[in-house]
Structure formats: C-alpha cells, structure tokens
Structure 1
C-alpha cells in the first residue's frame, strides 16, 4: 500500500497539471481538473519534464504549472491536500499509485526530495492500509 503522505506528495505531480495559483476560497483552482493524466503518465517525455521540475533545486527547468506546483507542495504535505478539489484528490491518488507501481525509483527520489526526514510518512502511518 502507498502511505497517505506519499499520496499528499504526489498531489504535487498531479497539481502540476491541475493548479496554477492559490484560491481565495481556500481551494486550489479547478482550471486543470479535466486534464488527461493518462497522456502525461503514458508519455515518457512529458512525465520526465514534470519529474525533472520537481527534483530540481530551483524552478528554472519548470513550465508555469510546475513553478506553481513547487510553491504548493509544502502546504499540500502539511495539510494532507485539504485545499484540493475532489478531482485533484482523485488525480493525486492515481499519480501516486502509478509512481508506486510503475516508477518506484522516481517515487523514492521524490519522497527523498520533499520529505527527507520522513515526517509526513510517519505522520500518516496509521492510514497506510487505506
């Protein structure tokens, strides 16, 4: 099973295509909720573009969505995606499962980058089986 903290983290990748800026109503904008995640996850070039953005030390290699995403990852981790729409939560879950099952090495790199002490993984261990 994928730890919920990993779900929250991978929210970041999903958000790269779902979110461009914070909403005044405490939800992330739904502008990209209908993006086809299958296209991104099945296209190695697109996938690597987003992955590279998230793993980089700065946002110079990121497109505009990636730059915004990098701003939201810390908040999404700490609040367990509380500002996500349902579609964003579902998209995050889908991306997490994809990474965990299909790209485990990339998944571990992302966790090491965004949760190096395992704080969020430990915080959500009781939900691992959900």
Structure 2
C-alpha cells in the first residue's frame, strides 16, 4: 500500500510540474541565419509569399506562419530570448527596407493595429518606430 501511495504522489507531482511549467515555442528553428534570408531576395520572397498565403511554405516558414498569430496575441510571451531578438531584427529590416511588405503583413496579422500598439514601446527600445 505504501508503494502505491508513493507512486501516486510522484505522479501527482510530475503532473503539477508539467502543467505549471511555462509553455515555450520549440527552438527547433532558432539557428536559422536570418541575415542570410533577409539578404537574399529570393529566400525573403519565399518566406513573405508563404506568410501572405501566396506561395509554398518550407517547414520553417510554415512554423513561422502558424506561430505568428499566437506570438502577436501573447506579446511573444512564449518566445525564447533568441526568438524575440529575431522577431525585432526582422521587424526592423522590414520597416526600414520593405515597408510595403510590412504593411501587407500587418493588414493580415494585425488589421486593427492592436499588436502594433502593444509592441510599440518595446520596439522603440530596439530602434524601431512602428
């Protein structure tokens, strides 16, 4: 009987740790070279077209497309620091060099501008004026 109680307690502890653990996005694609994508018009367009629902998606682009709405809604709270830094790098690039593309994506993923308002202060810390 003692061993059953012990197993039950350990199982309960494991479940509470799992349920209480902070949920994060997978880091599977964290080592992608963003500079290589942003600096290569062909690669950039592939990602952009995927996000715009106008082209085929690589596995990485599909993951990004599926993650963006939740990341925007949660203020990127599930992002690792590397993912947050990457997000701001891409935003800065797009606003400075591809503003039209940024506006097209914003029309799809943030049509009311709520997320731009939510991120404005933090973006400014990264030198980005939304």
What is the TM-score with the length of structure 1 in the denominator? 0.71
Task: Tell me which of 104, 115, 119 is aligned to 1:120.
Answer: 115
For 1:93, what is the secondary structure of its paired residue? Answer: helix
Match of 2:52 in 1: 55
Match of 1:98 in 2: 93
Q: Over residues 45-76 of structure 1, what are the superposed CA-to-partner deviations in whole Å (9 max), with x where a residue is unaligned?
A: 0000000000116xx62112222222211110
> Structure 1: any 5+ residue segments left out of the alignment?
1-23
- Alpha-carbon separation, structure 2, partners of 1:52 and 1:25: 32
What is the TM-score with the length of structure 2 in the denominator? 0.71
- Alpha-carbon separation, structure 2, partners of 1:100 and 1:91: 14
Match of 2:64 in 1: 69
- Alpha-carbon separation, structure 1, partners of 2:121 and 2:59: 35
Higher relative contact order (CA 8 A, sep 6+): 1
Change (3 A) 1:31 1:125: closer
Task: Tell me which of 10, 15, 23 is aligned to 1:26.
Answer: 23
Change (3 A) 1:86 1:56: same
Which structure is larger by alpha-carbon Rg, 1 or 2? 2
- Alpha-carbon separation, structure 1, partners of 2:60 and 2:124: 31
Count matched residues. 105
